[in-house]
Structure 1
Amino acid sequence: MRTGTRTGDHWQMVWDGVGGNRVRWAELPDMVRKSIEVAVGSTVVDAVSQPGGFSPGLAARLRLADGRRVFAKAVSGTRLAEAVAFHRREAGVAGRLPAGVTAPRLLWSGGGDDWAALVFEDVAGHTPALPWRPADWRRVHDALVTLAADLTPSPVDLPPIGHDPGLFSGWRSLAAEPALAAVLEPWARDVDRLAELEAGWPEAAAGDTLVHFDLRADNILLAGERVLFVDWPHAAVGAPWVDLLCMLPSVAMQGGPAPADVWRASPLTVRADPAAVDRVLAALTGFFVHSSLLPAPPGLVTLRRFQRLQGEQALAWLRSRLR
């Protein structure tokens, strides 16, 4: 079920997962543009910015003077310092993905003290139409099942999904911030109970599958018969059902099926321990709910509302499981 209607450009950007603050090719520093052109061995004659996602950096399909096309990402630390770290981490992950994984192939990565850039093969595809079409969702779900199988055991040596103790601690943060917790709906104000449930999520999410850990419609490309998963900076090793669980709130809020309905029918969940699922879902919900109450990061004015909409769906799913 959709959580609202499109009443203007701002709402559409939020609902579609568009930050609306991309840097365009011509706005990059000359040094960055030159580095990319040297890396690809040709000058750029046309650049089409891709709006999806919330990064303030470049994301553009580039047409080169020699006729080739590539996709480039670049960001400066002056816009958002942590985005540089994300780009560098993505380069480390994408460069080690096996050739058979349904993700664009990394061609080059580089950077300086305060910027990072990546160049991928260009994919002539598009993100899923929103609201989700049933046929597109079935395609993506089937591809996600295949992806989990292909990435088990993980072909890349990465930390376990819960290695960062500060990640997914939203309910514990709310327990320490009563003023924020007071604005929550009555059921969610039992933050101590939810914080206790959340605390065990790293062990609950453990496994030996390489998981993307940031799947949404804007990180998926439909290209002919292929489904490709893009943007891997948050990849880690965990349970094979984690990506599906983390994606379902965004699917629901963007017009797709209800999370519980997908969960009951998916082959990814057959061996999932219900208690472990509750812990990871509680942690994901806490992340969305707490984050949505914080001030927006610089330049990311639509992010908090996007998190709030996902949090509403996640909270409804969690509440139905804990009754």
Structure 2
Amino acid sequence: MQTGQRRHLTLGLILVLGALALALSLSVAISVGAVSVPFGTVWGVLFDKIGLAWAEPSWSKGRAAIVWDIRFPRALLAVMVGAGLALVGAALQAVTRNNLADPHLLGISSGAAFGAILALLHTGLFLGLLTVPTLAFCGALAATALVLGTARLAEATSADRLVLTGVAVSFVIMAGANVLIFLGDPRATHTVVFWMLGGLGLAQWGHLIYPLAVLMPCMLWLWLQAPKLNAMTIGDETAATLGIPVARFRLTVFVAGALITGAMVAFSGMIGFVGLMVPHIVRPLTGGDYFRVLPVAALFGGIFLLWADIAARTLMAPEDMPIGIVTGLVGGLFFIALLRRK
């Protein structure tokens, strides 16, 4: 068997095993909670809702509502957010050649936080339940535009200077967000704090189309850019000799990452460390080829955030712990371990 065929066979095997792990994780995520639901009921409700039921329903309408209306969209949102953040983290680590890069690197999350705080404390829900995610998404895009504009103005198009620009802009935006909190109604600040710590409480079937519509085309585009990402990991000079417009390609990847991160953060709040951890976890399985790293990172990111949400819902049951606390704890320990490996 040729090397290329063996490589693709390995990728296929990893994806199949990952898909099975994802199905099991979905079952557990939908099953556990204040009201426990058996696995059979979980999948029975699913098949019944999509018209593939093999028997008469044996569960109550209340359990069907818990599974279909509450837990299933929440689990799917966790998969999309985890996949998107992991995907962006892997891509940013390639174009910045910085193994500690993640989606919050460029102030995207800070911009989303600013938009969400503006909606929660000052503008009111003038678009209904979509007000917070809409303004958060607009804030993420505005932050990205500000970073790119500042980088262009300062002629900071190299990888390290773009990172520094993103950090600086992030501090400025968070200062503005803190001013909004200071000027807002103190009785509503607990809602802001919960959103900034991350959560999946906004998950509804009608809302899932928005992050999905951003994630799928951007994920496909990044996957098609795998050869260029591989070249960027070697160095700007090597990539340029291969005909890659280095500065323009790096900025394009940043914009795609901002679109994905903005859409995810808009519906989940600020969830850190997923984009940092997952690419490092999958590389021992896939090697450094981004043709394999990107899809496997997306799959494992979804699985990781599902289990983080399970922990957030069960560790302090019946209280729903912000998921950002769980990912922050795990991510901080992982970060320390990564530093020890030098």
Structure 1-normalised TM-score? 0.25
Which of the pair has the greater relative contact order for Cα pairs under 8 Å at 6+ separation?
2
> Whose strand fraction is larger, Structure 1's or Structure 2's?
1
> Whose helix fraction is larger, Structure 1's or Structure 2's?
2
